[in-house]
Structure 1
Amino acid sequence: MPLTDLTLAECLALRPDLDEPADLDAFWDQTLRTARAAGGTPRFSPVDTGLTQVTTHDVTVPGFAGEPVRGWLHLPAGADGPLGCVVEFLGYGRGRGLPHEQVLWANAGYAHFIMDTRGQGWSTAGGDTPDTAALNGAVPGFLTRGVDSPHDHYYRRVFTDAVRFVEAAREHPAVDPDRIVVTGVSQGGGISLAVAGLVPGLAGVMPDVPFLCDIRRGALIAGAPPYTEIAEYLRLHRDRAGTVFTTLSYVDAALLAARATAPSLFSIAMMDEVCPPSTCFAAYHRYGGPKDLRVYEFNGHEGGGGHHRREQLAWVRELLGSPRPQDDPGSSPLDTPRPV
């Protein structure tokens, strides 16, 4: 597989000048205040997965407009004190899946919240999260859904869901609210960067081959979906480029990442035709907090795979310390969540 974009040296030197809306902060402040005002209480229902070393709960969190967002909470079996926590967002087209499928972080000793992505994936025994908006783009996919206005855009709803999911994790008695790391691959990486810019006080951020960064460049050079959805839309609607890229600037994770302060561990793959490395480096260079980077020069969108999971495990352990701090004898039972 050849290089799909700039060389590593060029990417390391890259400092793109992105168009940032003047009201970006006000837009997101109003969006999140409205979502919180909608109210609602997270719900956690035990699930029997057949696993003995991990306990799992079916999660429902009030997200955008108070709409229910599904997910899973995995805990190490027998955990009896507030834990460091990893909140994970998923890749494009993926739903939360089956409850036993993703238990790495719980096996490492951390609480692990997984957020379903509205309108994506497939129904499980517990159901998934529909996107209730009636808006649709002119091409299949999510990038052009509601693209005529930032108030209507699909990722306004998704990013709000993600912020509310982190807030629910902070209030759960199994979680130490000061030791929360957000992460995700591709779309999940872009969501984690957006959350890092919108939620103060996170302990860490781990975006892998992140999507939704320098979106205009992605639309110009990506050789594979999802960025190609934008090019396909504008191929049909030649007069709407200004409107489209103005709307997408409100959900560009490279812009929101500049507001982040938590330590971060990025991964970028130099032969990635889905999320071209220059777009990922745009977010890395603009990131506002301390940052570290792993580059996989000969990989595509699969990135570092299991090798990078090993890097993440070591990084989180160094960042958060022991997964299980000294128990607080006055702490409440972990299966009794507090309302957000």
Structure 2
Amino acid sequence: MPILDMSLEELKVYKGINPCPEDFDGYWTRALKELEGVDPSVEYIPSNFKVSYADCFDMYFTGVKGARVHAKCLKPKNTSGKNPALIMFHGYRGNSGDWVEKLPYVAMGFTVVAMDCRGQGGSSEDVGGNKGTTYGGHIIRGLEDNPDNLMFRHIFLDAVELARIVMDMEDVDSERVGVTGYSQGGALTLACASLEPRIKKIAPVYPFLSDYKRVWHMDLAKDAYEELNYYFRFFDPLHEKEEEVFTKLGYIDVKNLAKYIKSEVLFTATLLDNICPPSTQFAIYNNINSKKSLRIYHDYGHENLPMTNDAVFQFMKEL
């Protein structure tokens, strides 16, 4: 088969080259402390989408920096006791998707919540407020400011806050919560479980936001990662700040967060992925220390993967 990246033998031991800042642990400890001081002010608005076996709500909560974040929330009817729950995260620049996509899990008795990432294609609020460029996307948003103002820091914390809100729901069993998503959704799945260790199961699929320096070295700073190219071309054409830039990006590098994960992990990787290169996916997987299993699509890239939704469903239904 054609090889886009390293050999499979190399991928299975690769752990990444993007720097991890020396104060990484303190950075995220400080971030979580900030989150603890946020009053989420959760609001549920009945949706116009109706189905006989679920109550559907547009849910809003306040995240760090005061942004109001939107999520779709579906609660099964006619259940007794506490339900399992599934949290879903979407791909980069997308949104929480259609209501109907969540119904198979609701029919199994799950409460399902799907978040709109702030400032992307859904209904969540982007309050801005960082110094420096906002050109090109969220990876470089806040890169010229204090690391505490990185945009993806805030989005990761939104994911954690949503998980905590779900776990605190009266009808949800906090010990039976799973998380899943593709691409950016896979990255947020991993970040959420890294920073909220009570998450029971996660199923990331070809995750984004990993090993930025490797992406750069492979000349794949395009498509989803294109803003890295924009940043250097427009703001550091001589690469005088290259090491500083990649080190700062290390705060929001999912492979660096992976060591915190305690969840059981069903990880799906693709070997011909030129959007989220295979090595950047394996760098995450190889840094996970909890119970894990790996599904490898040898002949697929960043695309629809047959049988993956079925595999995730079977994995999550054990909750």
Aligned partner (choices 202, 207, 213) of residue 199 of structure 2 = 202
Cα shift at 1:2: 4.7
Q: Percent identity?
A: 29
What letter is aligned with 2:200? A
Q: Is the 8 A contact 1:267 1:303 kept in 2?
A: no
What letter is aligned with 1:129? S
Q: Deviations over 1:84-134 (max 9, x none)?
A: 111111110112245445433223331111111000004xxxxx1121114
Q: For 1:252-267, what aligned pairs fall within 5 Å after superposition?
A: 252-267=253-268
Mean CA deviation greater in 238-247 or 276-285:
238-247
Q: Which residue of 1 aligns with 2:133?
A: 137
Q: Deviations over 1:214-259 (max 9, x none)?
A: 1221233226422222123113313221222122100111110111
Determine whether 1:311 maps to 2:306: no
Q: Which residue of 1 aligns with 2:189?
A: 192
Q: Which residue of 1 aligns with 2:214?
A: 217
Q: Which residue of 2 aligns with 1:251?
A: 252
Q: Is the 8 A contact 2:82 2:173 kept in 1?
A: yes
Mean CA deviation greater in 224-233 or 252-261:
224-233
Normalising by structure 2, report the TM-score.
0.91
Q: For 1:262-301, what aligned pairs fall within 5 Å after superposition?
A: 262-301=263-302
Q: Is the 8 A contact 1:42 1:62 kept in 2?
A: yes
Q: Which residue of 2 aligns with 1:80?
A: 80
Cα shift at 1:292: 0.6
Q: Is the 8 A contact 2:108 2:317 kept in 1?
A: no
Aligned partner (choices 170, 173, 177) of residue 173 of structure 1 = 170
Change (3 A) 1:3 1:75: farther
Q: Is the 8 A contact 2:18 2:213 kept in 1?
A: no
Distance 1:138 1:39 in 2: 27
Q: Which residue of 2 aligns with 1:20?
A: 20
Distance 1:114 1:277 in 2: 26
Instruction: Classify the secondary structure of the residue corresponding to 2:147.
Output: coil
Distance 1:204 1:211 in 2: 19
Q: Which residue of 1 aligns with 2:232?
A: 234
Q: For 1:49-68, what aligned pairs fall within 5 Å after superposition?
A: 49-68=49-68
Normalising by structure 1, report the TM-score.
0.86
Instruction: Classify the secondary structure of the residue corresponding to 1:211.
Output: coil
Distance 1:97 1:182 in 2: 15
Distance 1:310 1:84 in 2: 18
Instruction: Classify the secondary structure of the residue corresponding to 1:81.
Output: coil
Distance 1:223 1:256 in 2: 22
Distance 1:219 1:150 in 2: 21
Distance 2:175 2:28 in 1: 23
Distance 1:261 1:303 in 2: 28
Q: Which residue of 1 aligns with 2:34?
A: 34
Cα shift at 1:65: 2.8
Q: Is the 8 A contact 2:17 2:214 kept in 1?
A: no
Q: Which residue of 1 aligns with 2:159?
A: 162
Count of paired positions? 313
Distance 2:108 2:299 in 1: 29
Distance 2:64 2:253 in 1: 18
What letter is aligned with 1:235? R
Task: List alignment gaps of at least 5 residues for structure 1.
Answer: 123-127, 321-340
Instruction: Classify the secondary structure of the residue corresponding to 1:72.
Output: strand
